[in-house]
Amino acid sequence: MNPLLREAELPRFDQIDASHVVPAISAILEENQAEIDRHKMASTPEQAYRAFHEFERLEARLAEAWSPVSHLNAVVNNDELRAAYNACLPLISAYETAQGQDPALKSLFEVLKQNAGSLGLTLAEQKAVDNALRDFQLSGVDLDQPTRARFGALKQSLSAATSRYAENVLDATDAWYKQLETPDRLQGLPERAMALARQSAKDADMEGYRLTLSAPSYLAVMTHAEDRDLRREVYEAFVTRASDQGPQAGQFDNTALMQEILIDRQSLAEILGFERFTELSLARKMAPSPERVLEFLAELGSRTRPVALEDMRAIHAFARDTLDIETVEPWDLAFCAEGLKRQRFALSDEDIRPYFPATKVLKGLFEIVRRLFDVNIEQTTDVTVWHSDVTTYVIKRDDEVIARFYLDLYARAKKRGGAWMADCRCRRRHPLHGLTLPVAFLTCNFPAPLDSQDALLSHDEVVTLFHEFGHGLHHMLTQVDCLSVSGINGVAWDAVELPSQFLENWCWAKEALELISGHHLTGEPLPAALLDKMLAVKNYQSGMKMVRQLEFALFDFRLHNEFDGSSSVVQRVLDEVRESIGVTPNIPTNRFQNGFNHIFGDEMGYAAGYYSYKWAEVLSADAFSKFEAEGLFNRQTGEQFLSTILEHGGSQDAMALFKAFRGREPSVDALLKQEGIAS
Q: What domain range is 123 assigned to?
A: 3-100+102-138
Question: Is 336 within the bounds of a domain?
Answer: yes
Question: Is 456 within the bounds of a domain?
Answer: yes
Q: Are residues 548 and 528 in the same domain?
A: no
Q: What is the pLDDT of residue 604?
A: 63
Dihedral pair phi/psi, residue 435, rounded to 5°: -95, 135
Q: Are residues 119 and 25 in the same domain?
A: yes
Pairing mode, if any, of strands 209-212 and 400-410? unpaired
Question: Is 567 within the bounds of a domain?
Answer: yes
Count of structural domains within the chain = 4
pLDDT, tens digit, 9 for 90 and up, residues 656-669: 999 999 999 998 88
Q: Are residues 58 and 118 in the same domain?
A: yes
Q: Are residues 397 and 524 in the same domain?
A: yes
> Beta partners for 456?
357
Choosing from 239, 274, 289, the residue where a domain stops is 239
**Per-residue CA distances from 346 to 334, 343, 461 (Å):** 16, 5, 20
Q: What's the whole-number average pLDDT of the chain?
A: 95
pTM of the model: 0.91
Q: Are residues 368 and 509 in the same domain?
A: yes
Q: Are residues 433 and 383 in the same domain?
A: yes
CA proximity to 543, closest of 349, 319, 312, 348:
312
Contact call for residues 485 and 650 (beta carbons, < 8 A): yes
Q: Are residues 337 and 364 in the same domain?
A: no
Question: Is 221 within the bounds of a domain?
Answer: yes
Question: Is 164 within the bounds of a domain?
Answer: no
Across 337-369, b (16+ Cβ under 10 Å) vs e yields: bbbbbeeeeebbbbbbbbbbbbebbbebbbbbb
Q: Please give the Cα distance from 428 to 148 (Å, whole number).
A: 31
pLDDT, tens digit, 9 for 90 and up, residues 119-137: 999 999 999 999 999 999 9
Instruction: For residue 498, name the pLDDT band (cuts at 50, 70, 90).
Output: very high
- Helices assigned H by DSSP within 176-289: 191-203, 215-224, 228-239, 255-271, 277-282
Q: Are residues 499 and 558 in the same domain?
A: no
Q: Are residues 373 and 469 in the same domain?
A: yes
Q: Are residues 497 and 362 in the same domain?
A: yes
Question: Is 293 within the bounds of a domain?
Answer: yes
pLDDT, tens digit, 9 for 90 and up, residues 430-450: 988 899 999 999 999 999 998
Choosing from 563, 583, 610, the residue where a domain stops is 610
Q: How many residues does the chain have?
A: 679
Residue 603 in this model has a pLDDT that exceeds 80:
no
Q: Please give the Cα distance from 437 to 631 (Å, whole number).
A: 31
Instruction: For residue 679, name the pLDDT band (cuts at 50, 70, 90).
Output: low
Mean pLDDT to the nearest integer, 353-375? 97
CA 47 to chain CA centroid, Å, is 39
| pLDDT more than 70, % of the chain | 100
Residue 423 in this model has a pLDDT that exceeds 90:
yes
pLDDT, tens digit, 9 for 90 and up, residues 263-282: 999 999 999 999 999 999 99
Question: Is 262 within the bounds of a domain?
Answer: yes
Q: Please give the Cα distance from 302 to 13 (Å, whole number).
A: 50
E-only strand ranges, 411-502: 420-425, 428-430, 434-436, 439-446
Q: Are residues 339 and 416 in the same domain?
A: no
Q: Which helix (H) or strand (E) covers residue 391, if one does?
A: strand 391-397
pLDDT, tens digit, 9 for 90 and up, residues 584-600: 999 999 999 999 999 99
Q: What is the pLDDT of residue 5?
A: 85
Instruction: For residue 614, name the pLDDT band (cuts at 50, 70, 90).
Output: very high
Q: Report the interhelical angle of 45-75 vs 79-100 (nearest 10°).
A: 160
Question: Is 433 within the bounds of a domain?
Answer: yes
Nearby residues of 433 by Cβ (< 8 Å), 6 or more positions away? 8, 57
Residue 571 in this model has a pLDDT that exceeds 80:
yes
Instruction: For residue 201, name the pLDDT band (cuts at 50, 70, 90).
Output: very high
Choosing from 567, 590, 610, the residue where a domain stops is 610
pLDDT, tens digit, 9 for 90 and up, residues 40-71: 999 999 999 999 999 999 999 999 999 999 99
Mean pLDDT to the nearest integer, 275-299? 96
CATH code for the domain of 327: 1.10.1370.10
CATH code for the domain of 74: 1.20.1050
Q: Which residues are catalytic?
A: 468
Q: Are residues 52 and 116 in the same domain?
A: yes
Residue 493: DSSP 8-state: G
Contact call for residues 339 and 322 (beta carbons, < 8 A): yes
CATH code for the domain of 441: 1.10.1370.40
Instruction: For residue 94, name the pLDDT band (cuts at 50, 70, 90).
Output: very high
Mean pLDDT to the nearest integer, 170-195? 96
pLDDT, tens digit, 9 for 90 and up, residues 447-491: 999 877 899 999 999 999 999 999 999 999 999 999 999 999 999
